[in-house]
């Protein structure tokens, strides 16, 4: 369960932040266009903050993990995967994502 200081922020995070990728945009984007892809930077910042403050929120982590199934550059995939692993992403919590990440690395 997330720390009590995180609880007041959780609602705003779920409501206002783009945690999951927009599937139509992601499918149409070429790898060179990822830098401009809406939502990825925000998702990376949220994942880094969760890892930094040791917040294990399964719902938020699950939404962020959807980015790992997209054709991200390997360097960005590794950083995002590491942050999510730090807050509980694993074979046990997301086997499909874990298999995909291992296959990409």
> Helical H runs in the chain?
7-16, 23-28, 40-52, 58-65, 74-86, 95-104
Q: What is the C-alpha separation between 28 and 41, in angstroms, rounded?
A: 18
What integer pLDDT is reported at residue 21 of this predicted model? 84
Q: What is the model's pLDDT at position 3? A: 67
What per-residue confidence (pLDDT) applies to 12? 86
Q: Kindly give the parts of the chain with pLDDT less than 50.
A: 36
pLDDT for the residue 28? 53
């Amino acid at each position: 369960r997330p720390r009590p200081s995180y609880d007041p922020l959780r609602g705003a995070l779920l409501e206002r932040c783009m945690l999951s990728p927009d599937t139509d945009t992601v499918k149409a984007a070429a790898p060179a266009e990822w830098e401009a892809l809406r939502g990825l930077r925000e998702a990376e910042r949220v994942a880094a903050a969760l890892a930094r403050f040791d917040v294990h929120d399964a719902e938020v982590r699950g939404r962020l993990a959807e980015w790992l199934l997209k054709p991200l550059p390997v360097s960005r995939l590794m950083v995002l995967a590491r942050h999510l692993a730090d807050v509980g992403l694993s074979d046990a919590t997301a086997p499909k994502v874990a298999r995909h990440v291992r296959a990409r690395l």
